[in-house]
Chains A and B, each alone.
Chain A
Amino acid sequence: MKKEQNKILSEVTGSDYKYGFYTDIDIEIFPPGLNEDVVRAISAKNEEPEFMLEFRLKAYRHWLKMEIPDWAHLKIPEINYQDISYYAAPKNKKGTESPDGVDPELRKTFEKLGISLDEQKRLSGVAVDAVMDSVSVKTTFQETLAEHGIIFCSMSEAIKEHPDLIKKYLGSVVPYTDNYFTALNAAVFSDGSFCYIPKGVKAPMELSTYFRINAANTGQFERTLIVAEEGSYVSYLEGCTAPMRDENQLHAAVVEIIVEKDAYVKYSTVQNWYPGDKNGKGGIFNFVTKRGICRGERSKISWTQVETGSAITWKYPSCILKGNNSVGEFNSVAVTNNYQQADTGTKMIHIGKNTKSTIISKGISAGFSNNSYRGLVKVVKKAQNSRNFSQCDSLLLGDQCGAHTFPYIEVDNANSIVEHEATTSKIGEDQIFYCNQRGISTEDAIGLIVNGYAKEVLNKLPMEFAVEAQKLLQISLEGSVG
């Protein structure tokens, strides 16, 4: 029985990455290496105003003084930052020959990934900013959104077109001094998405960014900035994939969200970077800093993430609940398989009165992987009547993997309530027996139980993503089962 179950588990957990292809296109790429000249060159490439170059250089000089953080429960191989190329762009950039300025080859690539760059087709009704390596290829539905006063464009465009907004908000939630990777990102980021929702506007469609790493020996450093003015609403999605390679590639992104009074930003991620092969070779290092601030009263940020890819994930989408009665949510499913490592979680900083936060984290570990939840709930003295509930469950599939929980709770006043609970277990033999008894095979039973286990979080995803995420879970874990 045990043996058979192990066989099924290894079948279930051993499946292939289907976005691992590489598009052979002409690219413009900087030689590997990082110094002030590279930072200047990136800034020049994007035709940035002076203040951006200063911002970058300050960040770069600060980065030189910093050390890579070692507190996470991860084994990170040494990264040589001089071996990475910091800029790679498909040669046929926006605004050239073809009618809408997109190279047909690129269009094909994104279509293969299931992302339509064509507005007419409007299959999914989602506005997309498609980013390949260091540049944004195309942003769809810009005009439709502009009618509502929404600005949705690539970061490089925003820096040129809306320097005032960038100056005001960039780095205001995640300063470049925050940590090693934010400093690096601030110095060398080349593109990303910018989204501005004016007062009282509810975004008529979902906005999304799709990140694709294509070129070899590069790193991707992008930056997303979302500003939601008073009373506005937006649902934002983010997806990502990369080709299969034997070397590791670095992805160090920063996401900042600013939410004013009564506004609501819902940010969903399906992270599916190449996780490396079955022996742990290759894969993306995903070192991401995501943070939102609820500035106004009754504002709300909700993070939902499905993490299935990356060789190493180091990511803590956080909420600063500054406005009174503001709300933060974090819902996460993190799956690790083979030799993947994940150290992910959130920070909820309660500053305003009557602030509320909820944390639901579901970890699934298989193969030889290690999956950690790390979270901080901090209630400062001013945050009277605050409330937090955290639940962090781990599911272990196989006896070689690890599941860990590191919650930090700091409470500084007498009328806030903070609760944390966590469990770690494997799929119960009785649960499988129950399914078997009703004619469900062991393979199906495992798939069923895993899906049911993650359902609470998957349900929070927008429709299109929920379907994709469910499929992804099946691919990551179910393989031959489906």
Chain B
Amino acid sequence: MQNKMVVSDIEREFIDLYKENRSMFEAKTSAPVNEVRKSGIRDFERLGIPGKKDENYKNTPLQPIFRNGYRKYIEQKMVEFNLANVFQCDIPTLDTHMVLLVNGFFDKKNGDFLKELPSGIIIGSLAAASHEYPELFEKHYGKYASHKDGLVALNSAFAQDGIFLYVPEGSVYKKPIQIVNLVMAKEDIMVQHRNLIIVEKNAEAGVIICDHAMTPYKFLTNSVTEIYTAENAFFDYVRVQNEHNNGVQFSHIFVNQEANSNMTSNIMTLHGGVVRNNVNVLLNGEGAENNSYGLYLVDRKQHVDNYIYIDHAKPNCISNQLYKGVLDDSATGAFNGRILVRKDSQKTHAFQANNNILLTDNAKINTKPQLEIYADDVKCSHGATVGQLDGEALFYMRSRGIPEKEARLIMMFAFAHEIIGNVKTEALLNRINDLVDKRLKGELSPCDNCAMKCY
């Protein structure tokens, strides 16, 4: 991440926009957020948008995307939409507590700005929470998201709202919390929201995030989510990305795990024009365990780039990474995983795997699983494969009367199931199974009954 000397036009535009609207941003959120905002714009000015030479963005060139000239969506406007339409995308049998983000701003239609659920869980708008709970923001906000990446710094500078979730000590909430993240506008827009999730000691919670694009315009989302899990906390994170081919999504997740905490993340990329997921995990206490799973099913000219960085900063931690993908048509994919085992992080167990299936000659995958190890009493391994469906297995099924097309589907589904099976909420598991099944058959539009019919 080199220091940049020249500020490009695109970057200048952001910096000017920030200066013009600074007072508006600062009025929206409280002091701890505004402090991070200041360092955000400073760091963005220094770093800029990651360029071609940036090793971390080698497979996803950003400049052409930003050149598209999205209107920066910085002022919340009332968007008229029919909630029933939105719920068609929802998971009918899923019993969740749902909150809604529209174009990066908390939407009040579905509840108050801040709401207390049974067992003391607080959920609601990040902006509102920053005024209500400044001490929590002082302690956590901006503490985990590092500004080494210019895009994260940009988010810190512009973020005004998003979701805030606080799970107090010892509380256990079995019902998952669902965050529906909608982008809808009648022009090309860029949204930048910010989420903060705090799971205190001995607490347990799960979150499902669904990303949807509702109108057929070009959208760019640059979001940052910070997650803190205290000692013995248990947190489950599922994300279903289902946007359309014009959507661009950069999603940065920063996780800080304290001793004996356990976190599982499942990122399902079913659809999206360009998707880049950054997952950064710091295992900051002994006995912490992290499981990161990802599935990407892409076709046409879609592009998915997963970047996972696991930092074993303390001894006796466990980490597991498994990312699998099926690439069809001219889709391109990238996987960039890195495990760092710091000095004295003895007794570390780290595992990392990336498996890919290429269905056509025009599909392309670049994978780079990496290990960086400075402690000796560790068990670390990684693997990566790129291949096709097993011809012998296909033949076996065909010889037993299963048509080739169906046999291929069965095998692809089995391939994907290793990831889907990690979703703990049963209703969601069934729904994702269903979605993946349809997706593989080529029947799925971004939203099942979506008006856009981009398929």
* A464 interfacial contact with B, CB 8 Å: no
A72 CB to closest chain B CB (Å) equals 12
Selected interface stretch from A77-85, A103-111, A233-241, A410-418? A410-418
- Contacting pair A423 B376 (CB below 8 A): no
Report the Cα distance A331→B377, complex, angstroms: 26
Other-chain residue from B343, B367, B371, B374 in contact with A422 (beta carbon distance below 8 A): B371
A404-B370 contact in complex given A414-B360, A420-B383, C-beta closer than 8 Å: yes
The digit string for B152-178, where 1 denotes a CB below 8 A from any CB of A, is 000000000000000000000000000
B residues in contact with A409, CB < 8 Å: 365-368, 384, 386
The digit string for B333-373, where 1 denotes a CB below 8 A from any CB of A, is 00000000001101000000000101111111111111111
* A304 interfacial contact with B, CB 8 Å: no
B residues in contact with A379, CB < 8 Å: 386
A414-B366 contact in complex given A399-B375, A419-B383, C-beta closer than 8 Å: no
Other-chain residue from B362, B371, B374, B386 in contact with A418 (beta carbon distance below 8 A): B386
The digit string for A372-402, where 1 denotes a CB below 8 A from any CB of B, is 0000000101000000000000101111111
**In the complex, what residue of chain B is closest to A421 when comparing beta carbons?**
B383
Which chain B residues (361-402) contact chain A, with CB distance < 8 Å?
A: 361-388
Summarize B's interface: helix, strand, loop or mixed. Answer: strand
- Contacting pair A415 B388 (CB below 8 A): yes
A residues in contact with B358, CB < 8 Å: 411, 413-414
**In the complex, what residue of chain A is closest to B372 when comparing beta carbons?**
A404
Contact count A vs B, C-beta below 8 Å: 116
- Contacting pair B385 A419 (CB below 8 A): yes
A residues in contact with B374, CB < 8 Å: 401-402
* A71 interfacial contact with B, CB 8 Å: yes
A residues in contact with B426, CB < 8 Å: none
The digit string for A49-80, where 1 denotes a CB below 8 A from any CB of B, is 00000000000000000000001010000000
**In the complex, what residue of chain B is closest to A374 when comparing beta carbons?**
B370
Report the Cα distance A418→B368, complex, angstroms: 12
* A342 interfacial contact with B, CB 8 Å: no
The digit string for B198-226, where 1 denotes a CB below 8 A from any CB of A, is 00000000000000000000000000000
A60 CB to closest chain B CB (Å) equals 26
- Contacting pair B386 A411 (CB below 8 A): yes
Other-chain residue from B362, B368, B376, B381 in contact with A407 (beta carbon distance below 8 A): B368
Report the Cα distance A71→B360, complex, angstroms: 33
**In the complex, what residue of chain A is closest to B335 when comparing beta carbons?**
A409
The digit string for A13-41, where 1 denotes a CB below 8 A from any CB of B, is 00000000000000000000000000000
- Contacting pair B379 A421 (CB below 8 A): no
A residues in contact with B388, CB < 8 Å: 414-415, 417
Report the Cα distance A414→B360, complex, angstroms: 5
B residues in contact with A420, CB < 8 Å: 369, 382-385
B77 CB to closest chain A CB (Å) equals 44
A407-B378 contact in complex given A414-B359, A416-B386, A421-B383, C-beta closer than 8 Å: no
* A214 interfacial contact with B, CB 8 Å: no
* B55 interfacial contact with A, CB 8 Å: yes
**In the complex, what residue of chain B is closest to A418 when comparing beta carbons?**
B386
The digit string for A294-309, where 1 denotes a CB below 8 A from any CB of B, is 0000000000000000
**In the complex, what residue of chain B is closest to A414 when comparing beta carbons?**
B358
Other-chain residue from B343, B367, B382, B387 in contact with A417 (beta carbon distance below 8 A): B387
A residues in contact with B362, CB < 8 Å: 381
- Contacting pair B386 A426 (CB below 8 A): no
B157 CB to closest chain A CB (Å) equals 29
B residues in contact with A398, CB < 8 Å: 376
A424-B381 contact in complex given A405-B370, A409-B366, A410-B366, C-beta closer than 8 Å: yes
- Contacting pair A425 B380 (CB below 8 A): yes
Instruction: Give how many B residues have a beta carbon under 8 Å from the other chain's beta carbons.
Output: 36
B residues in contact with A406, CB < 8 Å: 368, 370
B residues in contact with A415, CB < 8 Å: 361, 388
A residues in contact with B376, CB < 8 Å: 396-399, 401, 426
- Contacting pair B373 A402 (CB below 8 A): yes
Report the Cα distance A402→B369, complex, angstroms: 17
- Contacting pair A404 B373 (CB below 8 A): yes
Report the Cα distance A420→B383, complex, angstroms: 5
- Contacting pair A422 B382 (CB below 8 A): yes
Report the Cα distance A420→B356, complex, angstroms: 12
- Contacting pair A424 B371 (CB below 8 A): yes
Report the Cα distance A413→B388, complex, angstroms: 10
Which chain A residues (226-262) contact chain B, with CB distance < 8 Å?
A: none
B71 CB to closest chain A CB (Å) equals 36
A370 CB to closest chain B CB (Å) equals 8
Report the Cα distance A379→B386, complex, angstroms: 11
- Contacting pair A394 B386 (CB below 8 A): no
- Contacting pair B387 A405 (CB below 8 A): no
The digit string for B176-207, where 1 denotes a CB below 8 A from any CB of A, is 00000000000000000000000000000000
* A403 interfacial contact with B, CB 8 Å: yes
* A408 interfacial contact with B, CB 8 Å: yes
A413-B361 contact in complex given A408-B366, A422-B381, A422-B382, C-beta closer than 8 Å: yes
- Contacting pair A405 B361 (CB below 8 A): no
Report the Cα distance A56→B358, complex, angstroms: 45
**In the complex, what residue of chain A is closest to B370 when comparing beta carbons?**
A406
A residues in contact with B361, CB < 8 Å: 381, 412-415
**In the complex, what residue of chain B is closest to A406 when comparing beta carbons?**
B370
A residues in contact with B387, CB < 8 Å: 416-419
A residues in contact with B366, CB < 8 Å: 408-411
**In the complex, what residue of chain A is closest to B378 when comparing beta carbons?**
A424
A residues in contact with B383, CB < 8 Å: 419-422
Report the Cα distance A415→B388, complex, angstroms: 6
Which chain B residues (53-67) contact chain A, with CB distance < 8 Å?
A: 55
B residues in contact with A425, CB < 8 Å: 378-380
Report the Cα distance A314→B404, complex, angstroms: 49
B residues in contact with A400, CB < 8 Å: 343
Report the Cα distance A397→B377, complex, angstroms: 9
A residues in contact with B356, CB < 8 Å: 411
Report the Cα distance A220→B375, complex, angstroms: 35
Report the Cα distance A413→B358, complex, angstroms: 7
Report the Cα distance A377→B386, complex, angstroms: 11
Report the Cα distance A402→B371, complex, angstroms: 10
- Contacting pair A396 B373 (CB below 8 A): yes
**In the complex, what residue of chain B is closest to A401 when comparing beta carbons?**
B376
B residues in contact with A381, CB < 8 Å: 361-362
Report the Cα distance A405→B365, complex, angstroms: 19
B residues in contact with A413, CB < 8 Å: 358, 361
B residues in contact with A405, CB < 8 Å: 369-371, 382
**In the complex, what residue of chain B is closest to A399 when comparing beta carbons?**
B376
A residues in contact with B382, CB < 8 Å: 405, 420-422
- Contacting pair B368 A411 (CB below 8 A): no
A396 CB to closest chain B CB (Å) equals 4
**In the complex, what residue of chain B is closest to A398 when comparing beta carbons?**
B376
A403-B373 contact in complex given A412-B364, A414-B360, C-beta closer than 8 Å: yes
A residues in contact with B377, CB < 8 Å: 399, 426
Report the Cα distance A394→B379, complex, angstroms: 11
A423-B386 contact in complex given A408-B368, A410-B366, C-beta closer than 8 Å: no
**In the complex, what residue of chain B is closest to A403 when comparing beta carbons?**
B373
B residues in contact with A411, CB < 8 Å: 356, 358, 364-366, 386
A388 CB to closest chain B CB (Å) equals 9
A residues in contact with B368, CB < 8 Å: 406-409
B359 CB to closest chain A CB (Å) equals 6
**In the complex, what residue of chain B is closest to A366 when comparing beta carbons?**
B376
Where the two chains meet, the residues of A that have a C-beta atom closer than 8 Å to any C-beta of B are 71, 73, 379, 381, 394, 396-426
- 30 inter-chain pairs at a CB distance below 8 angstroms, sorted by A residue, are A73-B372, A381-B361, A394-B371, A397-B376, A399-B343, A401-B376, A404-B370, A407-B370, A408-B366, A409-B365, A409-B367, A410-B365, A411-B356, A411-B358, A411-B364, A411-B365, A412-B364, A413-B358, A413-B361, A414-B359, A415-B361, A417-B387, A419-B383, A420-B369, A421-B382, A422-B369, A422-B381, A424-B380, A425-B380, A426-B376
Closest 8 CB pairs of A and B: A396-B376, A421-B383, A411-B386, A423-B381, A424-B380, A405-B371, A414-B358, A418-B386
